[in-house]
Amino acid sequence: MNMSARLPELIRAFNGPMTKELVQEPAKFGLGSLPSRTQPVSVAHAVCGFCSTGCGLKIHLDEKGQAINLTPNTQYPVNLGMACPKGWEALTPLYAADRATTPLLNGEAVDWDTAMQVFCRKFEAIMDQHGRESVAFLSTGQIMVEEMAFLGALAKFGMGMVHGDGNTRQCMATAVAAYKESFGFDAPPYTYADFEQGDVLVFIGANPCIAHPIMWQRVLSNSNQPEIIVVDPRKTETAMAATQHLPILPKSDLLLFYCLAHWLVKHGHVKPEYIADHTNGYEGFCEFLKDYAPEQHYASLGLSEEEFLKFAETIANGKSVSFWWTMGVNQGHEATRTAQAIINVALMTGNIGRPGTGANSITGQCNAMGSRLFSNTTNLIGGHDFTKAEHRAKVAQALDIPEERIPQKPSLAYDQIVQGIEEGRIKGLWMIATNAAHSWIQQKRIREVLQKLDFFVVQDMYATTESAQLAHLVLPAAGWGEKEGTFINSERRIGVSRKVSRAPGQALADFHIFRLIAEYWGCASLFRSWTSPEAVFERLQQVTKGQPCEITGIKGYDMLESHGGMQWPLRPGDEPGKERRLFEDGKFYTPDGRAKFVYEAPHAVPEPPDAEYPLVLLTGRGTSAQWHTQTRTGKSAILRKLHPTALMLDIHPEDALKLKIRDGQTVTVSSRRANITAQARVSTTMRPGQVFLPMHDPQVNQLTLSVVDPYSRQPSYKHCAVRVG
């Protein structure tokens, strides 16, 4: 046969390896058509383990029950069949080559028996010599609710620790403090349906296009042609899509909302009946507002009169106005009062408890809400108070543990634990599923502090994190998808996630590591009934009885799965429903059922720019393909292609011209704490005098400032003075 005769066969082969790989066949389980090699024999349900959106995923399983692929769950009420790049790549980090597969003692592989003996012997020796407050743990927003609860109960009730906090201190402590003081309980009031039901949506220090893409898709589903207002110094991706962008000066948001409140009162755009029936402290707030006439503060806000008035009038004319904030508010030197200024405006305009309204904090991590309620760190498990005898008695009865084992005082907060290590008062630390050596403020300092510890244990999926490399003992943990349990998302939805893959080597689920430690420590009798995550969930239900977050109406994991998760509260006899918002009856969780107006005069930023460091550094999310310290997203070749390979510094053209910096040039960024290198990206998304770096890069937190909000003790990552050259 000559070549011309074979040409059709060469151009299009109907048989052969590639043809078999690519041809698709009808699949079961509503999955459409798939290549034969990816045809599942069954599916399992999971909640994505990255951000707080809490998307439902269908995990495709082979005949051995091993995950081979995934697709978004079209029936799950959160994401309705959508997923962001991280969700599509959720399985990839499980198969990374650098997974921790065996315990490591001073860098050498050991068995679990040796690891447990060393763990217990070292911590016991420190506590015997220096007391119960000489050791601490740092928890996470990344493990399951049941694992968080087990960790907190084991550490405090079993091992006798007093101090433990979580990395959720870095993202959500401000919202917790604000809600507790204003509403009487840590209670984000909204449901995701509110994205679709209002006519005015205000995003403050929030960039959902990048940080929470599926939430942004819900915004785009709003059929009311809403006004979308973004309050942010930087012209973020969300600001580009908004109908109004208020490019305020960094950290002037508290002042902005006081000026807005003044204007609303002066022009009669408040709801007197709602205020009288459902709030306290309004008269004092109005007196306080006399100093905040907007026309006196436009320069301090960095806004024109026209920009401010359009903003104020839009809110005044809105029928259903919702206010949404994230880290741009929470990570500030006066963050709690800023969040409460937003809450105050929602209360005075009656924009709460109705569809499309609310003062709504968007959570960060997949289980930050679970951490807030059940980690047993600075709050007693279930949203209780360590200092109240009746709370200790209730928790002791619900968990069937002796009451005297419950500490009578709350833990130190994260920054205070770090300070305790630095001062030599805390000598042992157990860190679980977090990477402080990368993520904590003023990174050089935290690394030096961690090296002062007599004994440092890191429990993680990878032994290659910056923190694990400093540890004396590394405990290999299973990751998302390799264990079972529940997450609680931003809208308070509890969703169940099933095990769909086996952990590598000797790695164990955090739940089973905690059971093992209880046995070796000698306190396993306290946790005999804690035989499985679902058994622990049943215990936690009893802990919540009578609380605003009560979940005694949930009948096991199967009920959660069949309903697409459930929002708390859910008491016996309550209609589960797909979406449920709080405060529809105007009753709050304070003793008198009224919300509280809370306010305080703004304070100057701790480190203003000056002649030596003339620029303000802003930080935030880089792309939707990056997540926190990139411990997991960095394992995906696909996700790595979706963000720049170099650390990019956004700088305004005026500043670039003044400093003789070209686009793409390598520059040095310096603060009073460190010098790092980045690649300049000249961009009008910045205002003159400001620069921006994505928080995910391991260099960035060398620059940030060790300042925390005095009420939430959340770090201020979003503002410090730098120079660029």
Considering the chain, what is the average pLDDT of its residues? 94
Pair 327, 207: CB distance under 8 Å: no
How do residues 207-223 score in pLDDT, each as one tens digit? 999 999 999 999 999 99
Can you tell me the distance from the alpha carbon of 671 to that of 685, in angstroms, rounded to the nearest whole number?
22
The pLDDT score that the predictor gives to residue 18 is 64
- The residue type of 365 is Q
The amino acid at 195: F
Each residue's pLDDT tens digit, 228-261: 999 999 999 999 999 999 999 999 999 999 999 9
Q: What is the pLDDT of residue 526?
A: 97
The reported pLDDT for the residue numbered 628 is 79
User: What does the angle CA 249 – CA 225 – CA 347 come to, to the nearest 5 degrees?
Assistant: 55
Read off the pLDDT of residues 582-603 as tens digits, 9 standing for 90 and up.
Answer: 999 999 999 999 999 999 999 9
Q: What pLDDT, on a 0 to 100 scale, did the predictor assign at position 640?
A: 87
Q: Calculate mean pLDDT across residues 449-453.
A: 97
pLDDT the model gives residue 491: 96
pLDDT in tens, 604-652: 999 999 999 999 999 998 888 787 778 888 888 888 888 888 999 999 9
Q: Buried (b) or exposed (e) across 162-196, using 16+ Cβ within 10 A? A: bbbbbbbbbbbbbbbbbbbbbbbbbbbbbbbbbbb
Confidence at residue 108, expressed as pLDDT on a 0 to 100 scale: 97
Q: In which element (H, E) is residue 7 found?
A: helix 3-11
Give the β-pairing of 108-109 and 104-105: antiparallel
At 345 the pLDDT is 98
What is the percentage of the chain residues whose pLDDT exceeds 70? Answer: 97
CA distance 280 to 146: 37
**Structure confidence at residue 445 (pLDDT):** 93
pLDDT digits 0-9 by tens, 138-149: 999 999 999 999
User: pLDDT tens digits for 685-715?
Assistant: 999 999 999 988 889 999 999 999 999 999 9
Whether residue 321 has pLDDT greater than 80: yes
What is the per-residue pLDDT for 34?
75
End-to-end Cα spacing for the chain: 69
3-state secondary structure 204-226: ECCCHHHHCHHHHHHHHCCCCCC
Contact 680, 649 (CB under 8 A): yes
- Under the banding of pLDDT at 50, 70 and 90, the label for residue 15 is low
Query: pLDDT digits over 55-98, tens only?
Result: 999 999 998 889 999 999 999 999 999 999 998 999 999 999 99
pLDDT tier for residue 9 given thresholds of 50, 70 and 90? low
Residues 6+ positions from 275 with CB-CB distance below 8 Å = 282, 347, 348, 350
pLDDT digits (tens, 9 = 90+) for 526-556: 999 999 999 999 999 999 999 999 999 999 9
**The token pair that represents 485 in the structure block:** 């349990």
pLDDT above 90: residue 23: no
Average pLDDT over residues 31-47: 82
Q: What pLDDT, on the 0 to 100 scale, is given for residue 84?
A: 92
Helix axes 145-153, 510-521, angle to 10 degrees: 20
pLDDT band at 362 (very low <50, low <70, confident <90, very high): very high
CB 696 within 8 A of CB 627: yes
Enter the pTM of the model: 0.94
- The CA distance from 595 to 378, in Å, is 23
What digits encode the pLDDT tens for the residues 662-678? 999 999 999 999 999 99
**Backbone phi and psi for residue 365, each to the nearest 5 degrees, phi listed first:** -85, 165
| pLDDT tens digits, 322-356 | 999 999 999 999 999 999 999 999 999 999 999 99
Question: In the chain, count of helices (H) and strands (E)?
Answer: 27, 28
Taking a C-beta distance cutoff of 8 angstroms, is the pair 294, 263 a contact? yes
Question: Can you give the pLDDT at residue 525?
Answer: 97
For position 87, what pLDDT does the model report?
87
In this predicted structure, what is the pLDDT of residue 28? 73
Q: d(Cα 485, Cα 45) in Å, to the nearest integer? A: 11
Q: What is the pLDDT of residue 11?
A: 64
Percent of the chain with pLDDT over 90: 86
Residue 1 is predicted with a pLDDT of 52
> Is there a contact between 394 and 405 (Cβ–Cβ < 8 Å)?
no
**Confidence band for 16, pLDDT divided at 50, 70 and 90:** low
pLDDT tens, position by position, 379-422: 999 999 999 999 999 999 999 999 999 999 999 999 999 999 99
